[in-house]
Amino acid sequence: KQWYQRRVAITAGDVVVDVGGVYDPAKHRYDHHQRSFTGTMSSLTDGKLPFDTKLSSAGLVYLHFGRSVLDQLIPEVSDDHKEIIYSRIYEYFMEEIDAVDNGINATEEKPKYHVTTTLGGRVRDLNPPWNETKQDFDGQFERAVAMVGEELVKRVNGMANVWLPALKIVKAAFEKRLDVDSSGQIVKFEQGGCPWKEHLYKLESGADCEGSVKYVVYGDSNGSWRVQAVGVKGEGFASRLPLPEAWRGVRDQELSDLIAIPDCIFVHASGFIGGNKTEEGAMTMAKQALKLANL
């Protein structure tokens, strides 16, 4: 009887998500558990969005309603920029949810450590304890909805008001790279803090010079300057050209004496970043690193 009542309730619903065994957007049915369902963002958009992870019901809802959500959250943003954000929200927020729900690992290799603070992990932690006498599933569900909703809004606002405006800054610096150094392998920002990596990768791709920029030099909030190795796209902590091995882990005057550049502050042990008190010093560190690499 209970099963029958549940089935009747599902059938009568105006919008049914994650249950019912049917995917039919015309009838607002958004389930992904049926064996016949293999949809991805790519397959359901005729290849317009290049994401091949099987969708969960969350992904299906985003596919059909994500643009309407963006219209409400960031109405001031142009349609072209909304489309960029729509794709980016899927890639950096929703796709993880789809993959976890469908049991798809992020890597085929065995993880070297446990990652337990993901969005899915924090939602899981809101489940009532198994040994709690009075389990408030509805209350905890509402808390989970509020938490995920808040994070989604924060991501959208961050992309619209922080990430997207940085493109103009990165583009201007990229176009002036030959004025900074004739090799074109150093990009300089007058002030750091803006998200530059993905913008740089796309600008390089558009200029048909992928991988060409090795270092980014920028001022920090303390009035000092940093030289940062550009990361290898899609390879985590790997850098295109880490700062020289002999410099790594050395600090202050010892570092200045070692490399004959005044006002050095540090070079990280992995070589991905270093610091100098002056713009000239940071630029010299970048140029010298290129020279030592015969570039």
Look at residue 138 and tell me whether its pLDDT is greater than 90: yes
CA distance 92 to 118: 12
Share of the chain above pLDDT 70, in %: 99
CA distance 228 to 268: 10
Taking only the tens place, the pLDDT of each residue in 154-189 is: 999 999 999 999 999 999 999 999 999 999 999 999
Rounded mean pLDDT, 79-86: 96
18 Cβ partners below 8 Å, 6+ apart? 30, 31, 32, 33, 56, 57, 58
Look at residue 132 and tell me whether its pLDDT is greater than 80: yes
Instruction: Read off the pTM.
Output: 0.85
CA 226 to each of CA 161, 167, 267: distance values in angstroms, whole numbers, following the listed order: 25, 20, 10
Rounded mean pLDDT, 72-81: 97
Share of the chain above pLDDT 90, in %: 91
Q: How confident is the model at residue 2 (pLDDT cuts 50, 70, 90)?
A: low
Q: Which residue has the higher pLDDT, 108 or 42?
A: 42
Q: With beta carbons less than 8 A apart as the criterion, state whether 15 and 28 touch.
A: yes
